[in-house]
């Protein structure tokens, strides 16, 4: 029996391979009380955000997560460029959000980007990610 010759397959490099699929926008994050009710803030996707003092809470359960996001954001607090997530805000409603380097409010949900199905939200998050890639993709 003859062996087939191995073929090289070009693979796309994923700088964030080590992050959970939820944080890369490949799965939805449940936001109900049973899932821990992650603190969040509703904002508009057009960037009209009133300035907010970034929290420096070290007692927050999200303090370590915020430190990682801070480093991924180029040592800057606030929304992390390219990190768009899908959040199931209630059964049958999915919002696009952006991770934020803030232990008090680690996710900003876009009030104008709420969809009836996860696939639509995932498509929009992918579009936003393509428009504003993260630090590792630059």
* Confidence band, pLDDT 50/70/90 cuts, at residue 64: confident
Give the number of domains in the chain: 1
| Whole-number pLDDT of residue 24 | 63
- Contact assessment for residue 29 and residue 20, using Cβ atoms and an 8 Å cutoff: no
In a domain, 128, yes or no: yes
In a domain, 38, yes or no: no
In a domain, 46, yes or no: no
90 Rama class: left (phi>0) / alpha (psi -120 to 50) / beta: beta
Residue 69 has pLDDT above 50, yes or no: yes
| Whole-number pLDDT of residue 94 | 93
Per-residue pLDDT tens digits for 80-114: 988 999 998 888 899 999 999 988 888 899 999 99
C-alpha distances in angstroms, 57 versus 17, 26, 60? 28, 29, 6
Mean of all residue pLDDT scores within the chain: 79
32 vs 88: which has the higher pLDDT? 88
In a domain, 77, yes or no: yes
In a domain, 14, yes or no: no
In a domain, 40, yes or no: no
pTM to 2 decimal places: 0.72
Residue 43 has pLDDT above 80, yes or no: yes
84, exposed or middle or buried, with CB in 10 Å at 0-12, 13-18, 19+? buried
In a domain, 115, yes or no: yes
In a domain, 4, yes or no: no
Domain that holds residue 73: 54-137
Distance CA 125, CA 85 (A): 7
- The three-class DSSP label of residue 130 is helix
């Amino acid at each position: 029996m003859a062996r087939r010759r191995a073929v090289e397959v070009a693979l796309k490099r994923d700088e964030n391979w080590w992050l959970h699929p939820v944080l890369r926008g490949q799965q939805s994050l449940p936001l109900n009380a049973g899932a821990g009710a992650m603190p969040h803030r509703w904002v508009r996707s057009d960037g009209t955000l009133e300035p907010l003092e970034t929290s420096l809470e070290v007692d927050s359960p999200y303090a370590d997560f915020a430190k990682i996001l801070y480093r991924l954001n180029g040592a800057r607090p606030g929304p992390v460029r390219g990190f768009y997530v899908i959040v199931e805000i209630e059964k049958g409603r999915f919002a696009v959000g952006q991770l934020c380097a803030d232990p008090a409010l680690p996710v900003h949900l876009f009030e104008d980007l709420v969809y009836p199905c996860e696939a639509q939200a995932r498509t929009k998050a992918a579009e936003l990610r393509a428009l504003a890639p993260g630090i590792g993709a630059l």
